[in-house]
Amino acid sequence: MAAPMDTENEMEREFLKQGAEAKVYRENFYGRPCISKQRFSKAYRHQILDKSLTLQRLKSEIRAMNKCRNLGITVPVLYFVDPQTSTFYMEEITNSQTVRDYIVDLQKNDPELAIKKLTPLAGKLGSILGKMHSGKIIHGDLTTSNMLLRGDPENLDIVMIDFGLSFAEGLPEDKGVDLYVFERALLSTHPNTEDLFTEVMEAYKKANVKEANDVISKLDEVRMRGRKRTMVG
Ligand SMILES: Nc1ncnc2c1ncn2[C@@H]1O[C@H](COP(=O)(O)OP(=O)(O)OP(=O)(O)O)[C@@H](O)[C@H]1O
Ligand SMILES: [Mg+2]
């Protein structure tokens, strides 16, 4: 099967975003709205190393998405993977917004309503993260921009994206770090969300019963290290 679009054929795809390692486009996959994500070379990396790292990231992203789907975690449907151009094509989650934009809007417009709406969402997220970790997947880049919301406004579904830094297996420490990254991202992007993180963790414990204690003690350790670093400067 040929790739649906040549890389030279920029005309028919709409550029959406450039991250640190990938460009994200909106295009059409045999008649369906589609998002493509193309990893690009980093000039500072040795050429051969760069190629293998790019391929590795592409593979780990695909692998994690497939695993999540098997675990019952909602991720975009994968359409096609093209290692030649380091691109994969997936379902566009239409009529969605990032958790980041959702929180920012709610907090700006109605802080009280924000707490009411965000608490159940935090619970859902904690269940997803617990399930993901008990299924041996570390996301690697848990931020509120890497989660999309769609569906019934009163009962939104969370769609997890951006598994480019993910990896499999993982010790409790890796899971603790995964949660720490999320805690930092949440608190630094959205003020007054400490209680939401607590809510996330309550649901996490229920969804990853076997490991939760070990993971949380690692999370505490990582937090302590973080704090010491900040104090030393
Ligand atoms: N399947 C999708 N459906 C709708 N929007 C998407 C989808 N995938 C990505 N997006 C949008 O594009 C943005 C960037 O995607 P993504 O997070 O995968 O890339 P990135 O952050 O540039 O990647 P990286 O962190 O690997 O450099 C997302 O925040 C989201 O707004
Ligand atoms: Mg991202």
* Domain with residues 97-232, CATH architecture: Orthogonal Bundle (1.10)
pLDDT for res 3: 55
Alpha-carbon distance of 233 to 228, in angstroms, equals 8
- 68 class by beta-carbon count within 10 Å (0-12 exposed, 13-18 middle, 19+ buried): buried
Report how far ligand 1's centroid is from the alpha carbon of 146 (Å).
7
pLDDT for res 1: 54
pLDDT for res 218: 98
pLDDT tens-place values along the chain, 233 residues long: 555 554 444 458 999 999 888 999 999 999 999 999 999 888 788 888 888 889 999 999 999 999 999 999 999 999 999 999 999 999 999 999 999 999 999 999 998 899 999 999 999 999 999 999 999 999 999 999 999 999 999 999 999 999 999 999 889 999 999 999 999 999 999 999 999 999 999 999 999 999 999 999 999 999 999 887 777 65
Total Cβ atoms within 10 A of residue 189: 15
C-alpha closest to that of 181 among 191, 189, 171, 170: 189
- pTM for the whole thing? 0.92
pLDDT for res 7: 46
Domain boundaries, the chain: 10-91, 97-232
Candidates 13, 14, 27, 37: which one to mutate for ligand 1, based on the most atoms within 8 Å of Cβ?
37
pLDDT for res 126: 98
Q: Which CA distances in Å does 178 have to 33, 89, 167?
A: 31, 26, 11
pLDDT for res 41: 83
pLDDT for res 101: 98
Report the atom number in ligand 1 closest to the C-alpha of 23. 22
**Which position has the token pair 């780990």?**
60
pLDDT for res 8: 45
User: Which residue's CA lies nearest to atom 2 of ligand 1?
Assistant: 92
Report how far ligand 1's centroid is from the alpha carbon of 107 (Å).
23
User: Which residue's CA lies nearest to atom 13 of ligand 1?
Assistant: 17
Which residues are close to ligand 2, an ion, with C-beta < 5 A?
Answer: 146, 162
Domain 10-91, what fold?
A: Phosphorylase Kinase; domain 1 (3.30.200)
pLDDT for res 44: 83
| DSSP letters spanning 85-108 | GTEEEEE--TT-EEHHHHHHHHHH
Which ligand sits nearest to residue 162's alpha carbon? 1
Alpha-carbon distance of 59 to 54, in angstroms, equals 9
